[in-house]
Amino acid sequence: MDQEAPPIAASPAITEIVSTAFQRRIARIRAAVVPGWVWVVLLWALMAFPAAAIRGSHLEEATVIGLARGAVEDGQWLSPHLYGMRFIERPVLLSWIAAAIGTVSGGVTVWSARLPHLLFLLGGGLMVFNLVRQHTRDAAAVFGALCWFACPMVAQKFITAEPDVTVSVLLFAGFFLWWKGVSGGSVSLLRWFSIGLVLAAAGLTKGPQPLGYFTLGVGAYLVVRRRWNDIAGFILANAIAVLVVASWYWTVMIPGDVEGWLQHSRLSDGMTMTQWLRDHLDFVVSIFAAEWLPGSILLFPAIVASARKNAGRDGDLMLAALLYAGLASLVLLVWPGGVATRYAMPANLALAVLGGILYERWWFSRPWLIATSNTVVIGISSYLIILGWIVMPLAPDLFRQSRISAQTIEAVRSIVPGTLYVSGSTADDNVLAYVAAPVREVALEDIGNLKGPALAILADSELSELMARKPGFRAIPHAVVNKNERTKIFEIPSN
């Protein structure tokens, strides 16, 4: 590999210690005989394991698992159900994948969802590495992959099987296939068809809105570079995606669903102008100050560099990545409803490509900028590794409360078997992810009408409400479900 670069210039942006560590780390990568893609896989594994085996279900991960259980246990594949409740706010590809794994592995578990999630995450890193490596050395391409793994938006969900990573990687896979055709000289009709299928999969993960990252970004590039011969294929790919996604919505739709879909798309929030401005200002600050790091550090310098005529042999890829990351994100800035930073996650893969390219360009000319970006990457990567290899193994119970609460429920079930009922206010899907079927989420009134024997998780306030409504209602407490002593598992005896 290349010879070691000269010492980095001093800068007030970083400390001398960080600068020295930075140089040594890069020198080791450059001197190693290990291929760069192997480094990507090894770093991914270090950040993912053993944390993925220790951490209990958390955040919205349990929704993915619960919907997969609805497919396997209740046969609700096309129209998703969450513990008996209809859930059609969007298609749920990650849950369908988890269900397919559960079907052949003997049942849906947390790993049924985490394994494909982690593989998608790795796939994104390898695609970034491959695109950057076309124009740079291994060290820069590895840095680009790390910009994806270690951006805060992704790092906080590194082992959490939520659909945001899945949809981001699928959209970028469409970009990746397209750019491979562009860099190879032409994008064939078969390639456009394949891109359409990949985009359809992305649309079946979180609905049609994220497709804007590919449609706006690639469409703008075709116009700017006057690639008129690609317009027909571009339209074909988007038409395939729209047709597949629209078919799902049409198939599952019943009266009243359109209003729910508008609400899920944040198009019927009913926000005042003040609320809208506050929400979008928070979005902008969060994106640039935290969630897009280290890409946000390099974004504006990349725009300036791309605007210059001497953009270099990697200028076309930089332009394509900038348009892909930027245009749909600009739409989010003016979205009529509320926005969340996770909606902008697809941009991070393109920003990671920019990070790798600029690493190669500016290693000598702007070392302070690259070192600052690398400090962010080192800090977040180190955090993930220390958390997974030291903190979690030393205090595992702090990170698996959902699993412990589920063990409490199963202990009661061994004494009083039966269906477990939960109300909307007490349903903790992260706990239910570990509880064996049958589990049903119902309205509180339905719990009051149970004839028993059955088990129900109720808050003390809910029990009081039921007893006030139905003086003859009886429920025998068995155990506190979690640290909240006001939520217990009750036996509802036969009446």
CA angle 218/223/228 to nearest 5° reads 100
Query: Which residue, of 348, 371, 393, is where some domain finishes?
Result: 393
Q: Check if the beta carbon of residue 318 is closer than 8 Å to that of residue 302.
A: yes
Comparing 221-235, 387-401, 409-423, 474-488, the range with the smallest average pLDDT is 474-488
The pLDDT, as a whole number, for residue 7 is: 46
- 441 and 358 fall within a common domain: no
Q: pLDDT over 90 for what percent of the chain? A: 62
DSSP letter, residue 398: G
425 and 374 in a common domain: no
For 317-368, write each residue's pLDDT tens digit. Answer: 999 999 999 999 999 998 888 888 999 999 999 999 999 999 988 887 888 8
Q: pTM for the complete prediction?
A: 0.90
Same domain, 199 and 227: yes
DSSP β-ladder status, 439-441 and 420-422? parallel
Question: For 194, which DSSP code?
Answer: H
Rg (CA), the chain: 25
Among residues 362, 393, 424, the one where a domain terminates is 393
- Is 4 a domain residue? no
- Considering the domain architecture, whether residues 266 and 415 belong to the same structural domain is answered as no
User: Structurally, how many domains does the chain consist of?
Assistant: 2
Structure tokens at 196: 């359409």
Q: Is 378 exposed, middle or buried (0-12, 13-18, 19+ CB in 10 A)?
A: middle
Establish if 10 belongs to a structural domain: no
Distance of CA 49 to the CA centre of its chain: 18
If asked whether residues 176 and 288 sit together in one domain, one would say: yes
Task: Compute the mean pLDDT over every residue in the chain, rounded to the nearest whole number.
Answer: 89
pLDDT tens string 149-174: 999 999 999 999 999 999 999 999 99
Is the model's pLDDT at 217 over the cut of 50? yes
Q: Which of 66-80, 198-212, 383-397, 426-440 has the lowest mean pLDDT?
A: 426-440
SS (H, E, C) 292-344: CCCHHHHHHHHHHHHHCCCCCCCHHHHHHHHHHHHHHHHHHHCCCCCCCHHHH
Q: What is the pLDDT of residue 22?
A: 63
One domain, residues 292 and 429? no
The least confident of 34-43, 58-67, 330-339, 359-368 is 359-368
* Residue 147: closest CA among 342, 364, 299: 299
For residue 81, being part of any structural domain is answered with yes
pLDDT tier at 188 (50, 70, 90 boundaries)? very high
pLDDT (tens digit per residue) in 237-293: 999 999 999 999 999 999 888 888 888 888 767 788 888 899 889 999 999 989 999
> In this model, does residue 10 exceed pLDDT 50?
no
Q: For residues 196 and 240, is the Cβ–Cβ distance under 8 A?
A: yes
Same domain, 285 and 415: no
| Digit-coded pLDDT (tens) for 77-88 | 999 999 999 998
Last residue of a domain, which of 352, 368, 393?
393
pLDDT of 143 > 50? The answer is yes
pLDDT at residue 4 in the model: 45
Q: Check which CATH number belongs to the domain holding 446 and give it.
A: 3.40.50
Answer yes or no: do 112 and 89 share one domain: yes
**Domain for residue 312, yes or no?**
yes
- Spatial contact of 162 and 61, defined as CB atoms under 8 Å apart: yes
Do residues 380 and 408 share a domain?
no
Are 197 and 176 members of one domain?
A: yes
Instruction: Let me know whether 63 and 194 are in one domain.
Output: yes
Backbone dihedral angles phi then psi of residue 166, each to the nearest 5 degrees: -60, -50
* Domain encompassing residue 145: 16-393
| Side chain identity, residue 50 | P
Predicted local distance difference test score (pLDDT) of residue 9: 46
